[in-house]
Structure 1
Amino acid sequence: MNIFPSNSQLPIHHLAACFNSTSATYKFYWLLAILDAVQQQQREVEKKQLFASMLSNAWYTVNYFQVSFGQQDLIQSTVRQLKDIEGITIDEQRTQIQNRLVQSENRDTLKLLRHFDNQVPHWFLSPWYPGKGKREIYQLSQSGENQPIYQLHKDRIIIPDDWFNYLTKHIRIIRDFVYWNLSLFLQARNPNVPDIPNKLIKPAMRNSLVKQRKFWDYVIDKNRPLYCIYTGKELYKGRYHVEHFVPYSFVSHDQIWNLIPSDNTFNVSKSNKLPPLEKYFDAFYNMQELALQTYLLDKPNEKLLEDYFYIGTDLRYGLSKEKFYDVINPLVTIASNNGFEFLY
């Protein structure tokens, strides 16, 4: 069965076979880079542009969500090095990252980009030329034998018209296939990290926390004074931030059991750091239990209370401190193992 739409003029099965054996993310990001070029109507593409596109596509996944790519994968380490070498921020727009890398004349940057030329462009064509070496693959692709998806040259690739038209027509299907397989690849290497698929692309806009703010407004109204667990400052309606106890960049959701009100200035400085549980868990639990009991008494049908069910809470008995710790502690431990820093 063909994974992609069939085409009697092209060996589509070779494209599907590109991901039969993968030990790193190179092939996924290489094809995504090619699709980006096709979307921009580029048939002839400089390799440097493609390598920059690969790294810019991986930028947010590596630097913000800190997903592990595995020990053998150099995309992750390269992205982190380039962030420091080029001084590019974690949340820079992908197109700006790509442009910066393409235009860079820094010797260290150029060396890191050239690394991918040693492996990626020719090995991606292995299904078209099984058993062939690098030099042969270059020669055969330029001659057009077996109708490769692109012709390989020293500093660029050229996409033949038939393949370009096919990729243009089916770009959404192919891109979704790549992301699906990339998410499976990364999930296997991050078995305890939640929501890998939503960590592959930087969201255009974060979800609003209006409902969650109204939730905590009511808790503050009913239980004043309420104090920030980090600074001890009193919290007032309209003058606090709704903050993720375990960073959003790890959990990738806005469920109410991980959200509490906090002092405005502290929340900004906390960023995506982890709270040491020995210092903050008791206060975090107490605030969560207070909120839960407030709503169970006054508004037991509040929709946000459903979020507590996702962590196994039986609302008839309130929020068990021991069970709640057993939810939070593994999240903090795994996040720390993945490179998230602690707040001190």
Structure 2
Amino acid sequence: MHLPHSDKLPIAKLAASFGNTSATYKFYWLLAVLELVEEGQVSIPKRHLFARMIGNAWYTVNYFHVSFGKQDLIQQAVKAILEQERLTLDTKKSLLLSVLENSELKTTQQTLYHFNKNVPHWFLSPWFAKVGGENDVAYRKRIYASSQVFENDCLYALYDDHIVINPKWVGYLQANARILKDFIYWNLTLFLQVRNPNVPDIANKLIRPPFRGSLTNQRKNYWDIVFKELGTLDCIFTNTALTLDKYALDHFVPHAFVSHDLIWNLLPIDTSFNATKSDKLPNMETHFDVFFKLQKRAFEIITHQSPKSKLLEEYLTIYPDLSSANSFDYSKYKECIQPLVTIAHNNGFGYL
């Protein structure tokens, strides 16, 4: 993916900012700059930028548990601030930014300003190469001084507590903000996929979805039919008797990990339990066998009652040749579910 061309600006320098990337800070720094420039700001407090970096990574780290790498400062900062400010995993971005921009907690301020040590000037390194035996302190001072006269048409000028966007870049950033964001997310996706090779759907875990998809179709055209046939079902987690008019439909492996609503991962559970279950993982030894029996029985009923249901096709993910209920094999099902649970746990999802 390439950035929009300009005859007047060193676009190659901007693209080169993501070269040799070993952490996520460059992606989140530029994303923060873009968002605030879109809002019309050209003189931007660093604290607001650092707050945006945390805000944009918040859901990816806390809800989806995507790993940024053990040494990544943004991931560490997100987790630290979650505890320091006693916030929730699903805190809205607007509230989070307000807290971060105004918090009087020294620990939060220290966490934010830790990024000031390297992030703002290292992002400009493509515009200012090191010379000779220049040490890091001298290099930092030179970038600050040179950027303040927009030497080499650099993106912004650096000051102690704020940056000033180069007027030559403002129009380009605003006109191409959407493409630039796509460029950032594309490169961030590639970066994180290397560090999370077995985690599905990384690209859709970088932004908090505006809403979760409805399970109305799966309820009405699948599980409701099962209930009408059987009358009641027992919740596999609480043993509570469930009825057609009183059950919640939930994911066996949390949606926050699988990022889909395929029927083979859905099951009816107790509504009260669903309210507290959050994104906890099932215990395979305790829960899988009863889950499998429930799924197989439901499949048999739908195959008989509604054989042309499109939802049945979703089992092809597990069983490429699902010609009958006899093909609904226990081992294959477990071989599909077990790795998902294991990987999710390794990424930070807890067990029930």
Q: Distance in 2 between the 1:278 and 1:310 partners? A: 23
Q: Distance in 2 between the 1:40 and 1:88 partners? A: 26
Q: Distance in 2 between the 1:291 and 1:140 partners? A: 68
Q: Distance in 1 between the 2:232 and 2:164 partners? A: 67
Residues paired across the two proteins, number: 342
Shift of residue 313, structure 1, vs aligned partner: 4.3
Partner of residue 62, structure 1: 61
The SS at the match of 2:44 is: strand
Partner of residue 91, structure 1: 90
Partner of residue 333, structure 1: 342
The SS at the match of 1:108 is: helix
Q: Distance in 1 between the 2:232 and 2:63 partners? A: 35
Query: 1:197-224: per-residue Cα shift (whole Å, max 9, x none)?
Result: 1110101111011001111010111122
Q: Distance in 1 between the 2:255 and 2:211 partners? A: 13
Q: Distance in 2 between the 1:290 and 1:195 partners? A: 30
Partner of residue 240, structure 1: 247
Q: Distance in 1 between the 2:204 and 2:245 partners? A: 30
The SS at the match of 2:113 is: helix
2:170 pairs with 1:171: no
- Does structure 1 retain, via aligned residues, the 8 Å contact 2:37–2:170? yes
- Does structure 2 retain, via aligned residues, the 8 Å contact 1:23–1:72? no
Q: How does 1:1-344 map to 2 (within 5 A)?
A: 3-131=2-130, 133-214=139-220, 215-318=222-325, 319-343=328-352
The residue type paired with residue 223 of structure 2 is W
Gaps of at least 5 residues in structure 1 are none
Q: Distance in 1 between the 2:97 and 2:273 partners? A: 33
**In terms of mean alpha carbon deviation, does 85-94 or 118-127 score higher?**
85-94
Partner of residue 135, structure 2: none
The residue type paired with residue 263 of structure 1 is D
- Does structure 2 retain, via aligned residues, the 8 Å contact 1:242–1:261? yes
Shift of residue 56, structure 1, vs aligned partner: 0.5
The SS at the match of 1:157 is: strand
Shift of residue 77, structure 1, vs aligned partner: 1.2
- Does structure 2 retain, via aligned residues, the 8 Å contact 1:243–1:259? yes
Shift of residue 235, structure 1, vs aligned partner: 1.1
- Does structure 2 retain, via aligned residues, the 8 Å contact 1:285–1:321? yes
RMSD: 1.1
- Does structure 1 retain, via aligned residues, the 8 Å contact 2:55–2:93? yes
Query: 1:235-288: per-residue Cα shift (whole Å, max 9, x none)?
Result: 111211001100111111111100000010111121111110100000000011
Gaps of at least 5 residues in structure 2 are 132-138
Q: Distance in 2 between the 1:97 and 1:156 partners? A: 20
TM-score (norm. length: structure 1): 0.97
The SS at the match of 1:323 is: helix
The SS at the match of 2:115 is: helix
The SS at the match of 1:232 is: coil
Shift of residue 317, structure 1, vs aligned partner: 3.8
Query: 1:30-75: per-residue Cα shift (whole Å, max 9, x none)?
Result: 0000011011110010000000000000000000001100012011
The residue type paired with residue 152 of structure 1 is L
Percent identity (aligned): 50
Shift of residue 311, structure 1, vs aligned partner: 2.4
The SS at the match of 1:151 is: strand
TM-score (norm. length: structure 2): 0.95
Query: 1:7-31: per-residue Cα shift (whole Å, max 9, x none)?
Result: 1111111001111110000000000
The residue type paired with residue 283 of structure 1 is V
Shift of residue 169, structure 1, vs aligned partner: 0.4
**In terms of mean alpha carbon deviation, does 221-230 or 285-294 score higher?**
221-230
